[in-house]
Amino acid sequence: MTLTVDAVEPVRRKAGVLDRVRDILPKIVLAPSFALILFFVYGFILWTLYLSFTNSRILPIYEIVGFDAYINLWSQPNWYMALKNLAIFGTLYIGLCIAIGLLLAILLDQKIRGEGVLRPIFLYPMALSFVVTGTAWKWFLNPGLGLERTMQQWGFENFQFDWLTSTDMAIYCVVIAGVWQASGFVMAMFLAGLRGIDGEIIKAAQIDGASSFSIYRRIVIPLLRPAFLSAVIVLAHMAIKSYDLVIALTGGGPGNATELPSTFMYSYTFTRSQMAVGSASAIMMLMGITAIIVPYLYSELREPAR
Amino acid sequence: MSTATASVSPGSARAARFVIYGLLLLFAFIYLLPFFVMLVTSLKPLAEIRSGNMLALPQSPSLDAWAKAWGTACIGVDCSGIKGYFWNSIRMVVPAVAISTILGALNGYVLTKWRFPGHKLVFGMMLFACFIPFQAVLIPMARVLGIIGLANTTSGLILVHVVYGLGFTTLFFRNYYEAFPDELIKAAQIDGAGFFRIFWRILLPSSGPIIVVTVIYQFTNIWNDFLFGVSFASGGGAPMTVALNNLVSSSTGVKEYNVDMAAAMFAALPTLIVYVVAGRYFVRGLMAGAVKG
């Protein structure tokens, strides 16, 4: 008996080591990525949070002074300007992208000849960089040489379009360019939703004599709820992060007329040497996005089987 | 689904079709207009831009502005065009896309086929990392890149793009491998195949579509990035988007709109070509980026 045990033991021990290696190998493979995320995302967020409680100016100072930076932040007229602009931009951007995206999706869903040609045309702006979009629209909306003069040359002598250089209207130029870029993407989301709807429901409603309009209003659009939700989340997230578009289109101006939280954060941190205030504004942006994204991710991931 | 307008009279049905096509063509015209203006402006000499109509076709199209934007336009004090920055972007994009895609594939594999307690939390944390406003990591990143000597370098930007792209690449591969039958993995395990052999021989050969989607998504995002470029590499190591913005917003000398537009075309072409060649995968990537795959 002892003989057999001796003979078996080393083999089993070896298998044990191998098993253990095999068990932890997946974790070893995942570990570098997770470590990078832990450090560069969560560690950095804590670092920024820490800085927001200091008095850092051009360089970080690691002495906590409390909520000074937040008090400072919320007493800056610029910050209120940024929030007001974000409210205007965010509302119109989300609203118009959804309205135009839904309209285009419904139009394209009418058994259109040439859908394969039209769809890419609505979506190609999404492939462009915001800097390219901003550059193109800056030229297009240029009061001296762009749209305004073109219309005047066509005989609309009193046509005026100087929004880009107007303090009150410049933010709407950002909206126009933003909607141009993202509405095709929203269209694609709605189109995918429309194609997923069971045709039998629609046929039944048609047999009951419902008009196309009421079929859309009462049946189709309610069925698109998940697409609406995704679109709002994605667009809200993009609106809060918007930075490049404003920089390329208006540079935050005229004056501070198109300041957004993202441009505020950048200029206070890197050009105005108010790092603590910049950090505080970054934390505010993070809180805003977290409030939108976390419930969404939670509900998306909670589903048992995908 | 499609609603056939069967219950209405043929006349009004035809009118409805007319309105639908009219609206679609109008929108298509509006969507194409800025790009069209950008293109024709880049092909005109400056005098024609100043005197003519923005929408008019160039009288004698020339690529002079393109040549100038590429080789001799002044960005800051350096008058050698955008070509150096274009190559900066290429040098940044290729390794960053490759590394983040490979890591994403491995992560997705582990998170679906080698689950461990807490895998949901790990995935959730990686996923949330996709959505943070980058402003919240900008200051520490600038410090760390300075400390490890990667400030203003392409390598630094590669690191940044790999780190902040990982969440997305992991998401794409996780959702794709989730649908891959576990039975095949189990059978291979019984045959004695190990972790890497299963990945290499069984999962990877059938991952073609998701690799294409991930590569396109990452390529577009990294090529189009501006915030990281301007924050961490604003000098000679700047990527294309930053150079374009510097060129367009510089206020010295005569404003050469045609050169600006030609430079914008150079910045736009790589992603546009990818979109035209592989639009289907591009859309799929966008959709997957909205979490639901």
Can you tell me whether residue B78 is helix, strand or coil? strand
- The token pair that represents A213 in the structure block: 């309009």
Taking the CA of residue B7 and the nearest CA in chain A, the distance in Å comes to 8
pLDDT at A263: 93
- Using a CB-CB cut-off of 8 Å, the residues of chain A touching B15 are none
Tell me the per-residue pLDDT of A30-72, one tens digit each, with 9 for 90 and over.
Answer: 999 999 999 999 999 999 999 999 988 888 888 888 898 899 9
Specify the pLDDT at position B292.
52
pLDDT in tens, B188-210: 888 888 888 899 988 999 898 89
In Å, what is the CA distance from A264 to each residue of A123, A196, B182, B248, B271? 30, 42, 49, 21, 29
- Number of independent structural domains in chain A: 2
CATH 1.10.3720.10 domain range(s) in chain B: 83-289
The pair of structure tokens assigned to A26 is 């997946």
Q: Estimate to the nearest angstrom the gap between the alpha carbon of B188 and the chain centroid.
A: 37
Binned at pLDDT 50, 70 and 90, residue A24 comes out as: confident
Q: Name which of A6-20, A81-95, B225-239 the model is least confident about.
A: A6-20
**Same-domain status, A167 and A229:** yes
CATH architecture of B83-289: Orthogonal Bundle (1.10)
Confidence bin at B291 (pLDDT 50/70/90) = low
**Which segment of A25-29, A154-158, A294-298, B62-66 scores lowest on mean pLDDT?**
A154-158
Q: Nearest CA of chain B to the CA of A26: how many Å?
A: 6
Instruction: Report the CATH number that the domain containing residue A89 is assigned in CATH.
Output: 1.10.3720.10
CA–CA dist A204, A215 (Å, integer) = 10
Complex-level ipTM:
0.87
Task: Give a yes or no: residue A60 inside a domain.
Answer: no
| A90 lies in the same domain as A36 | no
pLDDT at residue B183 greater than cutoff 60: yes
Q: What is the pLDDT of residue A9?
A: 45
Whether B269 and chain A come into contact, CB under 8 Å, resolves to no
Same domain, A45 and A76: no
- Please answer yes or no on whether A136 and B264 come within 8 Å at the CB atom: yes
Same-domain pairing of A177 and A246: yes
Q: Helix/strand/coil (H, E, C) string of B116-172?
A: CCCHHHHHHHHHHHHHCCCHHHHHHHHHHHHHCCCCCCHHHHHHHHHHHHHHHHHHH
Whether residue B227 lies within 8 A of chain A, CB to CB, comes out as yes
Q: Do B224 and A131 touch (CB under 8 A)?
A: yes
Question: Do A166 and A20 fall into the same domain?
Answer: no
Residue ranges making up the domain that contains A47: 1-52
Residue A156 lies in a domain: yes
Instruction: Reply yes or no on whether the pLDDT at A3 is more than 60.
Output: no
Nearest in space to A118 (alpha carbons), one of B19, B285, B21: B21
